[in-house]
Amino acid sequence: MSFRIGATVLIDHNGNAVQSYGFKKKRILGNVQKVLKFLDAYEVDEIHAIVPLKGEGDDKSSDIFSRLSEIPISTPLGIGGGITERNIGEITKDPFFERCIFNSAIFNNPELLQKAKSIMGHQSMVASVPFIVDDGLKIYHSKTNSFKTMKDELWKEIESNFNEVLLLDASAEGDKKEFNFEVFEYIKFPIDRVLISGGLTKFDINKAKKMGLAGVSIDNFALHSEYSIRALR
């Protein structure tokens, strides 16, 4: 299967695309509609549109997704951030996307994952795994806004519930300081179903390709002219 060059778009509560830096700072890139249309025109292989939440989410995700559904893009789209038992029925009632991206539910919400699978199919399930390597692998749990030590049992859950994993190097996010490939010493998931994101350089993208990963998801650099999507592919 071809190596995929995807793009991550983070969306704030005002419907703006934002660039996040190491989970700390954020910069507004512009109206999300414009950004998605650019990415569509650049023919990225897929788009991951995520509403980043820290702590308890609110119900704004449904509104944001509802607005996204009006944007007529022809690029495969995954959405995530704030999908809960309360709003999953509404969000999946009229899907304009092909994939659902989950973070908090990975840890302790098998019911929600089961529901999503039965509606959208297992092929649509993507686990968002922001990580840091710090005395072992720690992965981000958005609901508690904290990094937790990764346990083997959790990999088993991820393997059974998800089609693919999107690994985000949280310490390199928004920067070009290189993706931390050390993470693969801890990954217990087939690497041909892993996409990586955060800190990616052209060297990293080539390395990911050689390793046989499913692909990469680049952030706002995808909108910069020095990155030719076709050349990266």
Q: Does 119 bind other proteins (CB under 8 A)?
A: yes
- Binding residue for other proteins, selected from 13, 25, 27, 122, defined by CB under 8 A: 122
Strands annotated E in the chain: 4-11, 16-21, 25-31, 46-50, 77-80, 99-102, 125-133, 137-141, 146-149, 164-169, 194-197, 215-218
Contact 137, 151 (CB under 8 A): no
The least CB distance from residue 147 to other proteins, in Å, is: 28
The least CB distance from residue 67 to other proteins, in Å, is: 12
- Binding residue for other proteins, selected from 80, 137, 150, 164, defined by CB under 8 A: 164
Q: Does 120 bind other proteins (CB under 8 A)?
A: yes
Q: Tell me how far apart the alpha carbons of residues 116 and 112 are, in angstroms, rounded to a whole number.
A: 6
Site for other proteins in 72-101 (CB under 8 A): 72-77, 93-99
Site for other proteins in 27-56 (CB under 8 A): 40, 43, 45-46
Contact 192, 4 (CB under 8 A): no
118/225 with CB nearer other proteins:
118
Q: Does 193 bind other proteins (CB under 8 A)?
A: yes
State the residues that interact with other proteins by CB under 8 A.
1-4, 40, 43, 45-46, 69, 72-77, 93-99, 117-124, 163-164, 193, 214-215
